[in-house]
Structure 1
Amino acid sequence: MKLLTIRGRLTLIYGGLFLLAGVVLLAVTYVLVDQRMPQPFGVKVSDLPKVAATSPKPGNGQNIETLRALVEEVQDEAKRNALESLLTQGGIALIVVSAVAIAFGWLLAGRALQPLQQVTDTARRIAGADTAGRGLHERIALVGPRDEVRELADTFDQMLERLDRSFDGQRRFVANASHELRTPLALNRALVELAVTRPDAPEETRRLGESLLAVNERHERLIDGLLTLADSENELTERTAVDLAEVCAHVIDQAGKQAPDLPVHRSLAPAPANGDPVLLERLTFNLVENALRHNLTADGWVEVRTGLVGDRPTLMVTNTGPVIAGYDIETMFQPFRRLSRERVAGTRGFGLGLSIVRAVARAHGGTVEAYPRPGGGLVVTVTLPAA
C-alpha cells in the first residue's frame, strides 16, 4: 500500500481535527437542546390539574388523564422532530465543514511545506548535475523566520559551500600539478634528445635514450590527459560552432597513421554542434585511438559515423575486438580503471581515454552510451545538444 506523503498526512490531521471538533460541538448541542427545549403551547404537564379544577365545564376532571397523555404525546413528537432536524441539518453542515476543512488543510500543508520543497528542488538539481562537483555553486538562500526549516536550509547551504570549495580545490590541484610536471618532462626530453644525437654517442647510450624518450612520452601523455580531464569538468565559458564531421575527418587522418593496415570506414554526415573545438577534437581522438588500439582481431576494422538523430548531433564509433562483458562497460569509463586482460596483456594506456570522453560530453550537456558489439568489440555513441 502506497504511503501518504507528509502533505497528505497533515491534510488528514487538519481535516480530522475539524471533524472531531464538529462532532463534539454537535453532540453538545444535541444534549443541551434535549435538556432545555421549552414545553409546547406554554403549558406544563404539572399544571393540568389546576387548569381542570378552575374550568367551569363539567366533566373536565374526568378527562385529565386523557388530556395529559395527549399533551405528552404532542410534546414528545415536537421534541423528536426538533432533535431529528438538528441531527440531519447538523450532519449535513458537518460534512460540508469537513470538506472545506480538508481543502483548507491541503492548502495550509502545502504552504507549510513550501520551504522543504525548495530544499528538495535544489538538492535534486545538484544531484542531477552531469559531473560530480558541478552544480555545487547553487544555494537555497531560504528567507523567512528563523525556525527549524530555516536552520535546516542554512546548514545545507554551509555543506554545499564546503563541498564546492573541496571539489574546486581538487580540480585546481590537478591542473596546477599537471602544469608543474610539464616543465621537468620537457627538460628531460630535451636533455635525452641532445645526448642521443651527439655524433660520438655510443650505441648503448642511443638505445637507453630511446627507452627514456618513450617513457617520457608516456608521462607527457598522462599529464596531458589529466589536464584535459580537469578542464572538461569545468563549466564551458565559450562555445563556438563546430561540425563533428570535420573534426572526425581530421582525427581519422591523424590517428589512422598509428595503424595504417587497419581499415577505418567513415560515414560522415554533417553534425553541427556548439562547444569547445579543442575538447571535442580530444573526445573524438580518444574514441578513434581506443578503437584502433584495442582492435586485436584479424581482419579487424573501425567505423566512424556522424549525423543528426532528430536534431541532435551524434558521433558513433564501432570497432571489432575481443568480446566485452556488459558489466565491464561502466568500469571502462572510470579514471585509471582498465579491464583485467588489458593489464595482463600490457596494453599501453592509463585508463583515462573514455573517462575524458564522458567528461567532455557532460561538459557540453551531452551523453555517452556504450554497449558490446555482437561478435566482439565495442560501440560508443556520443550525443550532444542541438546547435
Structure 2
Amino acid sequence: MKRLTIRARLTLVHGGLLLLAGTILLGVTYVLVDQRLRQPLNGIFARAQVVPTTPYGQLPSPGGAAEQVRVLIQETQDEAKRTALESLLTQGGLALLLISAVALGFGWLIAGRALQPLHQITGTARRIAAVGAAGRGLHERIALHGPQDEVKELADTFDLMLERLDRSFDGQRRFVANASHELRTPLALNRSLLEVAMSRPGAPAELRQLGETLLAVNERHERLIDGLLTLADSEQQVVDRTPVDLAEIAGHVLDQAAGTAEPTVRRWLAPAPTAGDPVLLERLTHNLVENAVRHNLPAGGEIEVSTGTVDGRVVLVVVNTGPVVPTYDIETIFQPFRRLRHERVAVRRPDDRAGAARGFGLGLSIVRAVAQAHGGAVHAQPRNGGGLVVTVTLPSLGAMVPAQPARVLPAATYG
C-alpha cells in the first residue's frame, strides 16, 4: 500500500485537529444551550400554579387553569428548545464542515510552503544522483536562503558534504592524471634507450632478445598508463560532441582487428547515429572487441558485433563465446584492476610476451566510464553456453539535436 506524502499527512493532521476541536466545541455549546433553555421557565411554572387565570365571565376551577398554562408553557418550551438545538446542530455542523474544508485548503498550501526547502534539497540530490559517474555533478550546491532553522541547517550540512566529496573526487582525478603523465616520461626514455641499444651494429643475439623482452614489458606499462589516463579523462562529462555513426566506428575497429582476431567475427552494423567524442567512442568499441577476443575459446570461438537504434537509443552489442560466467561475477568485470577467475582459459598467442594477453582489468572500466560520460550505460549478461553479451546504449543523435541533420565522420577520422 502506497503511503501518503508528508504534505498530505500534514494537511490531514491539520484539518483533523481542527475538525476534532470544532466538534468538541459544538458539543459543549450544545450542552450549555440545552441547560440554559431550561432555567428561565422554571419560575414561570411556579407563578402559574399560584396565579390562576380564567376566561372572562367564568369562575376559575380549582387547579384547572394553572395546569393548562403549565402544559402550554411546557410545550412551548420544548418546541423552542428543540428548534434552537436543531438549528444549532444543523447550522453549526455546516459551518464546521465549511471551516474544515477551508482549513484543509490552507493546510495544504502551508504544508507545501513549509516543505518547499525539502523539495529543493531533494531536487538537488536527485540531479546529482542522476549523473551516474562517481564525483560528477558534485559541484552543484543547494544554497538555501531563509531563516536559520532546522531545514536551513540540513541544507547547509548537505552543501558541506557535497563540497568535501567534490574536493575528494577532484583530487583523485587530478592525482591519476598527473601520475599518468609523470610516469609516461621515464617509460618513453626507457623505450628510446632500449631501441638505441638494440639498433647498434654487432649487438649480440642475447642483447636483442633481452631488449625485446624489456620492450614488451615497457609497452605493457605504457598501455597501463594510457588506460589510467583514459579512465581519468572519461570520468568527465563530454561537452564538445561531434555527430558520429557508431556503425562506422565499429566497422573501423573490426577492420583493424581482422588481422589479429583468431575467433570468427560476424557483424551486423545498422546505422546508429549519435554524438560524442570520436576518440573515446572508438576506445570504447576497441576495448569491447579486444575483451571479446581475449576471453574467448582457444579454438572455434565466435564474436558477434551489431549496432542499431532501439526505442530511440543507439545500441552496440558485442557477443563472444568463452567460459561460463556466473551472474554474481558480472559486476566485477566493470571494476578497475579486477578480472574474472576464468581468465586462465584466455587465448595465449606466440607474440604475447610477459603476460601481455592478461590485460590490466581496465578495459571494461573504461567502457563504462566512456558510456556514462556520453549519457549512456553499459550492461553485461552471461551468454547461454558460455561467454558474455555486452550491450552499450547511448542517446541517439535525433534525441539530442533534433534540428541538426545526421552527419557521420569518415572512418579515417577515428584513427
TM-score (structure 1 length as normaliser): 0.92
Q: Secondary structure at the match of 1:135?
A: coil
Partners of 1:174 and 1:71 lie apart in 2 by: 101
Task: Name the structure 1 match of 2:197.
Answer: 195
Partners of 1:25 and 1:193 lie apart in 2 by: 99
Alignment CA distance shift 1:73-1:28 (3 Å): same
Q: How far apart are residue 60 of structure 1 and its match?
A: 5.4
Q: Does the Cα contact within 8 Å between 2:376 and 2:395 map onto a contact in 1?
A: yes
Task: Name the structure 1 match of 2:122.
Answer: 120
Alignment CA distance shift 1:49-1:263 (3 Å): closer
Are positions 1:355 and 2:356 aligned together? no
1:364 aligns with one of 364, 369, 374: 374
- What does residue range 233-312 of structure 1 map to in structure 2 within 5 Å? 233-259=235-261, 261-312=262-313
1:155 aligns with one of 132, 154, 157: 157
Task: Name the structure 2 match of 1:381.
Answer: 391
Task: Name the structure 1 match of 2:144.
Answer: 142
Partners of 1:87 and 1:107 lie apart in 2 by: 30
Q: Does the Cα contact within 8 Å between 1:371 and 1:380 map onto a contact in 2?
A: yes
Are positions 1:17 and 2:27 aligned together? no
- What does residue range 163-178 of structure 1 map to in structure 2 within 5 Å? 163-178=165-180
Q: Does the Cα contact within 8 Å between 1:297 and 1:320 map onto a contact in 2?
A: no
Q: Secondary structure at the match of 1:52?
A: coil
1:111 aligns with one of 110, 113, 122: 113
Q: How far apart are residue 367 of structure 1 and its match?
A: 1.5
Partners of 2:314 and 2:78 lie apart in 1 by: 87
Task: Name the structure 1 match of 2:36.
Answer: 36
AA aligned to 2:321 is T
Q: Does the Cα contact within 8 Å between 1:39 and 1:75 map onto a contact in 2?
A: no
Identify the range of structure 1 (364-373 vs 174-183) with the bigger mean alpha-carbon deviation. 364-373
Task: Name the structure 1 match of 2:5.
Answer: 5
AA aligned to 2:283 is R
AA aligned to 1:188 is N
AA aligned to 1:358 is R
Q: How far apart are residue 176 of structure 1 and its match?
A: 0.7
AA aligned to 2:377 is T
Q: How far apart are residue 100 of structure 1 and its match?
A: 2.9
Q: Which runs of 5+ in 1 are unaligned?
A: none
AA aligned to 1:284 is T
Alignment CA distance shift 1:144-1:316 (3 Å): same
Identify the range of structure 1 (296-305 vs 344-353) with the bigger mean alpha-carbon deviation. 344-353
Q: Does the Cα contact within 8 Å between 1:297 and 1:322 map onto a contact in 2?
A: no
Q: Which runs of 5+ in 2 are unaligned?
A: 347-354, 398-415
Deviation readout 1:353-378 (Å, 9 max, x if unpaired): 01100110110011112212212221
Partners of 2:329 and 2:249 lie apart in 1 by: 29
AA aligned to 2:271 is P
Q: How far apart are residue 6 of structure 1 and its match?
A: 2.3
Partners of 1:222 and 1:275 lie apart in 2 by: 24
Task: Name the structure 2 match of 1:322.
Answer: 323
Q: Secondary structure at the match of 2:391?
A: strand
Alignment CA distance shift 1:341-1:3 (3 Å): same
Q: How far apart are residue 309 of structure 1 and its match?
A: 2.1
Partners of 1:73 and 1:134 lie apart in 2 by: 84
Deviation readout 1:38-71 (Å, 9 max, x if unpaired): 8899992233245427987521543212322332
Task: Name the structure 1 match of 2:71.
Answer: 69
Q: Does the Cα contact within 8 Å between 2:243 and 2:276 map onto a contact in 1?
A: yes
AA aligned to 1:263 is T
Give the root-mean-square deviation of aligned CA atoms.
2.4
Alignment CA distance shift 1:53-1:349 (3 Å): same
Q: Does the Cα contact within 8 Å between 1:7 and 1:113 map onto a contact in 2?
A: yes
Are positions 1:45 and 2:54 aligned together? no
Identify the range of structure 1 (182-191 vs 28-37) with the bigger mean alpha-carbon deviation. 28-37
Q: How far apart are residue 84 of structure 1 and its match?
A: 2.7
AA aligned to 1:307 is G
Identify the range of structure 1 (216-225 vs 66-75) with the bigger mean alpha-carbon deviation. 66-75
Deviation readout 1:133-168 (Å, 9 max, x if unpaired): 111111112122221111111111111111111111
Alignment CA distance shift 1:11-1:232 (3 Å): same
Identify the range of structure 1 (348-357 vs 116-125) with the bigger mean alpha-carbon deviation. 116-125
Q: Does the Cα contact within 8 Å between 2:19 and 2:100 map onto a contact in 1?
A: yes
The percent of aligned pairs where both chains have the same amino acid is: 70
- What does residue range 329-340 of structure 1 map to in structure 2 within 5 Å? 329-340=330-341
2:221 aligns with one of 207, 219, 222: 219
Are positions 1:342 and 2:324 aligned together? no
Task: Name the structure 1 match of 2:406.
Answer: none
Alignment CA distance shift 1:356-1:115 (3 Å): same
Deviation readout 1:298-333 (Å, 9 max, x if unpaired): 211222212222433221212111221222211111
Q: Secondary structure at the match of 2:316?
A: strand
Q: Does the Cα contact within 8 Å between 2:41 and 2:77 map onto a contact in 1?
A: no
TM-score (structure 2 length as normaliser): 0.86
Q: Secondary structure at the match of 2:385?
A: coil
Identify the range of structure 1 (313-322 vs 228-237) with the bigger mean alpha-carbon deviation. 313-322
Q: How far apart are residue 28 of structure 1 and its match?
A: 3.1
Deviation readout 1:284-309 (Å, 9 max, x if unpaired): 11011111111124211222212222
Q: How far apart are residue 222 of structure 1 and its match?
A: 0.4
